[in-house]
Chains A and B, each alone.
Chain A
Amino acid sequence: MKGFWAIILKEFSHIRRDPVTIFFTFMVPVIQLTIFGFAIDVTIDNIPLAVLDLDGRQDSRELVNALVNTHAFEVVERPRDAESFRRALTSGRAKVGILIPADYSERLLLREKAEVQVLIDGSDSQVATTALNTVNLLAMQMSVGRARTIGESMQVTAARNERGQASSPIEVRARLLYNPDLESSHFFVPGLIAIILQLVLLFLTSFSIVREREMGTLEQLFVTPVGRMGLLMGKLVPYAMMAFGELLIILVVMQVIFGVPVHGSLGLLLVLSGLYIVTVLGLGLLISTIARTQLEAVQLAFLIMLPSVFLSGFMFPRSEMIAPIRAIGYLLPVTYFVEIVRGVILRGADVVDMVPYILGLAVCCVVILSLSVRRFRKQLD
C-alpha cells in the first residue's frame, strides 16, 4: 500500500483540473436520468389515432369519445375519405385507424350487429398489442353496457338472457397491418439501420480528423496549398462510400436473416439513406471541429448517441414522451430517419407519406453541414 495516498491525491488533482471529466461524472448522469426516466415509460398511452367516421352521429361520437377516454389513444387526424385514411397510417402519423361505417347508428338502433373496423400498425408490437387489447376491451364494455340498458328498458335482465343466439351489438374487427405476426424484430431491425449507420459514421469521421489533429499531420496539411473543400471532401467521401456499402450489407442481412422485406421502393430508401449519411458525416465533422483529442471525440459522440437511441423513437415510442423531451428528438437527424426506414421498409410508405420526415432530415442536413463546414477552418486558431 505504499504510495496509496500519493496516488489518490494526485488523481484528485487531475480530476479537479479537468472540468470535462467532472461534467461527465456528475452532470451527464443527472441529465440523462431525467430525460430517459421520462422517456422510458412502459405504460403506453396516447397512441396516435385516425378516425374515419362515416356515420358521424351521436352513437359513433360516443364510441370515439370512449376510445379517447381510455387515454390509450389520442385522435391526431379525422380524414374525410378512404385515401387520406390510408395515408394517415402509411405515413406513420397514426398508429391506429378506426373506420366507423355509415350505418353504424342505424344498425345499433335496429339491434343489428354494428361492425367497426380497426386497423392497427403492427410495426411496433408493444404499441400494437396495447391498441388491440384496449379496443377489444372497450368494445366488450360498450356492448355489455348497451345490452344492459336495452335489457332494463325492456324490463328484462341480462342474466337470464339466451346463450348463443344473441351477439354483442358492437363488434370490433381489428386487423393488424404491416407486421401481422407482431414480430418485434421487424420493428427493431429497420430502426437499427439508422442507429448503426450513425454509430459507425460518427466515430469514423470524427476520429479520422481528430487523429490528424492529434498527430500534427493536420497542421502539416494546413501549411500546404490544399483547399479547404478539397481537404474536407477528401476526408469525408471515403467514409460516405464505406457507409453506403455498409448500408447495403445491413439491408441484405435484414432480409436474409431476419426475413424483413422492403415493402416500399428500394430506390427511395437508398436516396434518403444517402441524405442521412451526408447529415451524419456533417455531425462527425462538427464533433471533430470541437474535440481536440480522440477521447473528447468519444465523449461527444456518446453525448449524441445516447439520446439517439432513447429519444429517437428507436427504442421507445415517441408518442409516450412528454413534450419537452420529445422536442429533443426533433433536433436529431436519426429521429427522422428512423421514421423513414420504418415507413419505407415496413409500411411501404412513398415519398408523399414521408414528406414531413424528409423535410426534417433535410433541414438537419443543411443546418449541421453549414455549421460544421463553417467551423472547419484551415487555420490553427
Chain B
Amino acid sequence: MANGNVLLPMSGVKVIDLTWHLAGPFATRLLADYGADVIKIERPKIGDPARNMPPFFQNDPGIERSGLFMFLNTNKKSVTLNLKKPKGIDILIELIRDADILIENFSPRVMDSLGLGYEFLKTINPKLVMTSISNFGSEGPYKDWKATELTTYAMGGAMINTGHPEKPPLYIGAHIPGFHVGTVASAATAISLLGADANGKGDHIDIGAFPVWMGAIDRRQSYLMSHQYTGDISSRPWPASALGTGIWQCTDGFFMTAVGAGLFPRMARMIGAEYLLEQDGWHDAAARSNPDRIDESIALIVPWMLERSKAEARDAAQKYGVYGGPVNNFEDLIEDPHFKERNFFSKLSHPETGEVNYPSFSFNLHLEDTDMPERTHAPLLGQHTSEILEEYLGIKEQELTNLYQQEVI
C-alpha cells in the first residue's frame, strides 16, 4: 500500500509561495509546520511588505526585525526573484514545473498579467494545486473592490454581533481576519492535494476573505439559519444576555461565564445559592427562562465574583462544571501553568533578535518514530536564493553571478 514513507504528513510536498502580507503567509506557514518545503518568492531588496509591518524588535523598524513577519514565515526558504524581468518569470516557471502547490494572494488577474494563469500552468504541470487568495474571490461583482481586514470582518457579518449593544460594532482585533483566511486556505490546499494525488489531476482554488467569513461558524452560520426561521435580524448581545452569562469584575481583572437556563443549577451551587432551585420561578429550565431571572441572578453573581480572583473563579467554575474563563493578557498566558506544562512556548533563535519565545504548533502529531522537528527562523531576505536555484534548477555559480548582475535575483 505504502508508496514512499514520509516522516511528517506534508513531507516531500513542494510549495511555491508567492504570497505576502498575512493570509497567504499564514497558510504556507501551516503547511511548512507539517513538513512541506515552502519556497517563498520575494522581490529583490524589498521583499514581503510584512517585513515593514509592526511590531518591530525593540521598536526599531527594519526588514529583518518585524515580529509579524518572523511569526508568519518560520520554516520557509526565501528566494528573491524579479518578476518584472522575463528571465525572472522563466525561473519561476521552472520552479512551478515540478511543484505540488502554488499559492498566491495577489489581486485577481495579476497572475494572468504575468503570464502565469492557471490555464497555462496546468499545461506545464497537470497535477498542480494552485490556490489563489483575495479579498472577495476572483469572480463576482466585488472582485476588484478594495478591502482591509476591517472591511472583510465587517462585510463577513460576525462584526454586527461583536461589541456592546450601545456602541458601534467592534473589530475583532489584531490580524485575526487575515489569519483565519490563511487557515481555511491551508485546509483547502491540503484537501485538493489529496484529490490531485488520488485522481492525478490538479485544481485551482479560489478563496475570498468575504465568503470565508460569511461562512464561518463563529455564530454567523447559525444567525443566517435563525434569520430564515424567525425573520429576526441579529445585533450585539448584552453581556448578560442569558442566565448566568456575563463578563464579571474580579479582584484582579475579569472573568467570563456562559451558562443559560438549562445549566444554571451548576452556577447556583457554585455561588452558594442552591436554595434558589427550590423556589418558584427557579425550579426548572422553563421557569428560569423568564428574562427577570437574569437581573435577579446578577445581584447574586456580582458580589460573589468581586470577592474572588480570576484564578479562584476559574477553579470554582471548573469544580461545578460552569463554562467560563478569565480575561487574560499575554503575560497571563505565558505564565499560565497549563501552557507551561504543555510546552506551548518554545525558544527560536533569529540572527537579529537572538532567542525569543514563539507559540508552538496549531496541532500536535503523536508520532511513534519522531518528535515534531524544531522550527527554523523566518528567512532573511534572499537567504536561500543560491541554494534553491542550484538544488532545484542546477543553476551554477557563474550563472548565479550573472543573474545578480542583471537584477533578476
Are these two chains actual partners, yes or no? Answer: no
- List the interface of chain B (C-beta within 8 A of A): none
Residue positions of A touching B, CB distance < 8 A:
none
